[in-house]
Structure 1
Amino acid sequence: MFDGYSLSELGSIFAMQGFAGLILFSVFVLMALGLAIIFGQMGVINMAHGEFMILGAYVTFVCSHLVGEHAPWLFPGYFFIAMALAFVASGSLGMLVEWSLIRFLYRRPLDTLLATWGLSLIMQQIFRSTFGAREVGVTLPDWLMGSLSLTDTIEVPINGLFVMALTMTISAVVYAVLFRARWGRGVRAVMQNRVMAGAVGINTEKVDRYTFGLGCGIAGVAGSAFTMVGSTGPTSGQLYIVDTFLVVVFGGAQSLIGTIASAFTISQAQSTMEFFLSGSMAKVLTLLTVVGILMLRPQGLFVLKVRR
């Protein structure tokens, strides 16, 4: 596999693929954070999570065109506006879905899986009817274009650095909300013992709705970040949903640290192997490795100890 490469060339290849893996890691983390909140904290299998991501991507696409046509003086900073709108749009739709559909299906995982899978098909068709079947891309501000040269053979794209900085910021905010804020303590209380949480005055229905909305809103921000590294189509979300579930389950469904560690491991493995092997073979080897580890440790890399 390494035949024909000198040591310096291999060093450059591993450095470039490692950075490409960090960009993939950033998208995985943003997707998996929202899914870890919904699946890990609420026990809901949301098969439409990828479509909430694509909703955020389309919001970013529309925002770029509207700002470019009607307020070009805002264009250098439009991406921050687009991310906020993507969070609001995906989060609001998530709360509406929880109120109208999910709240009737708690503790029925198979039903939630089928219902959200049907929702994903409906959302895909809405995207196709609204934006067309072809993939679309956004125009990035000038300050996000180009790359930084670290050496003569290693360059890193600026938009990749921005995506990584965004991922670290959102991860820190989610950690602070769930583990330092009062609302986060309420979320974890409902997760551990819903009846007791309700008995001490926590509005469990409101916690469920806001938690589902938060997870979907983070997926919308992931969609904004996704527009920097790929084009957006009606079915683009389905390309990431399997990998995202794999990240969450491998890291431990209720552990944010496990989600981040799992995303880093899987993204780096896929990025490196894709250079030397085909993309499909890299995914197969990664999946086989993860399945083998889960057979030995079915609870994932990290697990929270909860008193039952």
Structure 2
Amino acid sequence: MSTLIEGLFNGFSIGSVLLIAALGLAIVFGLMGVINLAHGELMMLGAYATFVVQNIFKPLGEPWFSLYIIVAIPIAFIVSAIVGLILERGAIRFLYGRPLETLLATWGISLILRQFVRSVNWLLFISIGVFSLLFFGGMELIKRRSDWERIKNKVTALLLVLSGGIAIAFYSILSNNLALTKAWFSTRNVDVTAPAWLRGGTDAFGFQIPYVRLFIIVLTILCLIGVYWFLQRSTWGLKIRAVTQNRTMSSCLGIPTAKVDALTFALGSGLAGIAGCAVSLLGSVGPNTGQNYIIDTFMVVVVGGVGNLLGTILAAMGIGVLNYLIGSGTLALMFTNIKAPQAVLDFFFFFATSSMAKVMVFALIITFLQIKPAGLFPQKGRTAEL
């Protein structure tokens, strides 16, 4: 019984990370129908933001270092939300209603973000800043002209070429400066050190409960409460729910659907950043960190039912618990204790690794979707017809 309780707790802690990540994905997918394959990279950015905040607080010593995680959580949210907003405004808004193109575009964006993290340095950062200043600054100045609509396409193309050329020239001139070209993160994994009050654990039910996993569970509960309050009690939450149910009618009633889309995507991206902050406390952070969770996150959304908060919660916890119980060998040991047939023991010991556990859980999900193809809580009414 103690082994089972320990397995359930560890499974819930894994499910908590999946739930934070899946919350954002469920909101975005439920509202806009966007299959965002770059969601894992937004988690990665949140994890790296936590690493940077840790390094800023480290020279300050105690007790300030112990408080860095409190600062890192909103910073991770803001960084990922800003990047998500840029992606939505810069690319995804042109692809609504075209799921295949959206899938390919977000996949390409995920590759770009991973390579950006590997290569980013001060020179690249400054060059991007120069390009942004010239291009967007020029656009804002020229937009004031009365004939803007007539010359918009030509001016945009000209500014794009000029700004890009100047930024590339700036990069080439300073490329020999070693201090500016040193990579911030490179391809290696980096470690985030948990603050002192999150190290160790407490004994309960015959095993030790790590404080880090308790913290992640509490953080997940707070995120759930925050998302529920925002969607059910705030003005913009009401607008998001209205657009989700009927986009055309919401637009006719004066709701700015474009702003709602941007806000929703930023909110979902910010939640991915918080998930990345939680993930950074469990292991090392690298360019491929998000890829370890993206498949499970999509499975949570599909099994729970698109856009359904309760379904997302149940699916995340169920998948997290199954992954741990099967992959850790807990189920195999339990069947050994009750003296199950040898064939059953061999079956569960065969799947008693993290990779094979994912295979078994995936097979179970496929079987479940044959029975309930729309998930635990399918959409009903007019929303299901859209």
Aligned to 1:139: 193
One-letter identity of the residue aligned with 2:229: A
Aligned to 1:227: 280
Match of 2:95 among 96, 105, 122: 105
CA distance in 2 between partners of 1:202 and 1:293 (Å): 38
Q: Deviations over 1:40-94 (max 9, x none)?
A: 1211010000000010000000100111124654212111111111111100111
User: Which consecutive aligned stretches of 4+ in structure 1 deviate over 3 angstroms post-superposition?
Assistant: 70-73
CA distance in 1 between partners of 2:37 and 2:366 (Å): 20
Matched, 1:278 2:353: yes
Question: Per-residue deviation at 1:216?
Answer: 0.1
Question: Per-residue deviation at 1:142?
Answer: 0.6
Secondary structure in 1 aligned to 2:320? helix
Aligned to 2:82: 92
Greater displacement, 65-74 / 134-143: 65-74
CA distance in 2 between partners of 1:198 and 1:36 (Å): 22
Question: Per-residue deviation at 1:263?
Answer: 0.5
CA distance in 2 between partners of 1:184 and 1:71 (Å): 41
Matched, 1:40 2:30: yes
Aligned to 1:7: none
Aligned residues: 297
CA distance in 1 between partners of 2:57 and 2:73 (Å): 14
| Contact kept? 1:63, 1:78, Cα under 8 Å | yes
Matched, 1:306 2:359: no
Question: Per-residue deviation at 1:306?
Answer: 3.1
Alpha-carbon RMSD? 1.2
One-letter identity of the residue aligned with 1:299: A
One-letter identity of the residue aligned with 2:362: L
One-letter identity of the residue aligned with 1:175: Y
Secondary structure in 2 aligned to 1:135? coil
Match of 1:262 among 270, 292, 315: 315
Secondary structure in 1 aligned to 2:281? helix
Aligned to 1:24: 14
| Contact kept? 2:306, 2:379, Cα under 8 Å | no
Match of 1:194 among 241, 247, 261: 247
Matched, 1:207 2:282: no
CA distance in 1 between partners of 2:224 and 2:80 (Å): 18
Aligned to 1:68: 58
Question: Per-residue deviation at 1:195?
Answer: 1.5
Question: Per-residue deviation at 1:238?
Answer: 0.8
CA distance in 2 between partners of 1:169 and 1:70 (Å): 28
* Fraction of identical pairs, as percent: 46
Question: Per-residue deviation at 1:22?
Answer: 1.2
One-letter identity of the residue aligned with 2:260: V
Question: Per-residue deviation at 1:182?
Answer: 2.0
| Contact kept? 1:192, 1:306, Cα under 8 Å | no
CA distance in 2 between partners of 1:232 and 1:72 (Å): 24
TM-score by length of 1: 0.94
CA distance in 1 between partners of 2:4 and 2:355 (Å): 19
Secondary structure in 2 aligned to 1:197? helix
One-letter identity of the residue aligned with 2:45: L
TM-score by length of 2: 0.75
Secondary structure in 2 aligned to 1:155? strand
Matched, 1:237 2:285: no
Aligned to 1:52: 42
Q: Deviations over 1:99-131 (max 9, x none)?
A: 110110000000110000000000001111241
Matched, 1:170 2:223: yes
Flag structure 1 segments of 5+ consecutive residues without an equivalent.
Answer: 1-10
Question: Per-residue deviation at 1:197?
Answer: 0.5
